[in-house]
Amino acid sequence: MTIGTVVRHLREQRGLNQTELAAKADVQQSYLNRLEAGNRVRVDVIALDRIARALDVTVDEILISAGVRPTKDRKGSLRWKQMERIFRDLAAHRQEEILAIADTLRSMSEERHLPTGAMGACVAEDAEEYLEEEE
């Protein structure tokens, strides 16, 4: 099952058409249409989070239903290495700004202002682990 298939299934379960879900999630209907049709659309994390909220589920629930399971060890991935390189190349004050944002996101997640498993909590956790390794 693809992410688009899961979104379509959840949308139909809730009796929404694409126009209604797009409006509720504040995403373009054309994006939602391409996502559901599986037209090799690049999954936008922000749009997926909006769609998940509009469907009253978490992004993790959509990903798990689609067979995309978050890995425990993200550090070996190419994306992690790219993020690590970018982070290292930033000026120290920019690194501090990013870590402050990550801390805020983690706090919001812990206070349930963000859905369980929200990306922010992962980012904060990863940033902390990265700094601990550097010390």
Do both 81 and 126 map to the same domain? yes
Number of domains in the chain: 2
Cα–Cα dist 65/55, whole Å: 14
Do both 37 and 91 map to the same domain? no
**10-residue block means of pLDDT along the chain (135 residues)?**
91 95 94 87 83 88 78 57 77 84 74 48 48 50
Global confidence as pTM: 0.53
**What pLDDT does residue 73 have?**
53
115: containing domain: 74-134
**What pLDDT does residue 27 have?**
92
**What pLDDT does residue 30 have?**
92
